Amino acid sequence: GEAEKDDKNDDGLPIITMEELAEHDNEDSCWKAIDGKVYDVTDYIPEHPTPPSVMYEWCGKESTEAWDTKGYGRPHSKAAEAMLEDMLLGRLEEES
């Protein structure tokens, strides 16, 4: 029905609003938006090869630039990109 159409995008992924993203800004639930998609990275934080603070800084936020640069101008590896796919939750709402 109409409601379903509003909730989903062409690719069938749930649409996640900026407000919803912003609620997941902590160690119990850490979501990040990267290139228009939203990922739940909570369980990966202890495995990430940096102090957790590097990851926590971006919880609940649009994190594309942090992802693309790792904070010092180098992109994450293809292996890291592949891991991210398993954490996919949905698509970030388009800005209006």
Q: Out of 63, 89, 91, 92, name the contact with ligand HEM by CB under 6 A.
A: 63
Residues in the chain: 96
Element (H or E) spanning 57, and its range?
none
Cβ proximity to ligand HEM: between 5 and 74 the closer is 74
**Least separation in angstroms between CB 92 and ligand HEM:** 14
Counting residues that bind ligand HEM (by CB under 6 A) gives 21
Q: What is the rounded distance in angstroms from the CA atom of residue 41 to the CA atom of residue 89?
A: 10
Q: Decide if residue 56 touches ligand HEM (CB under 6 A).
A: no
Candidate ranges 2-10, 14-22, 64-72, 88-96; the one touching ligand HEM (CB under 6 A): 64-72
CA angle, residues 69, 67, 43, in degrees to nearest 5: 140
Which residues does residue 15 pair with via DSSP β-bridges, in sequence order? 91
* Chain centre distance of CA 89: 8
Tokens of 13: 């992924």
By the criterion CB under 6 A, which residues form the site for ligand HEM? 32, 41, 44, 48-50, 54-55, 58, 63, 66-67, 70-71, 74, 76-77, 79-80, 83-84
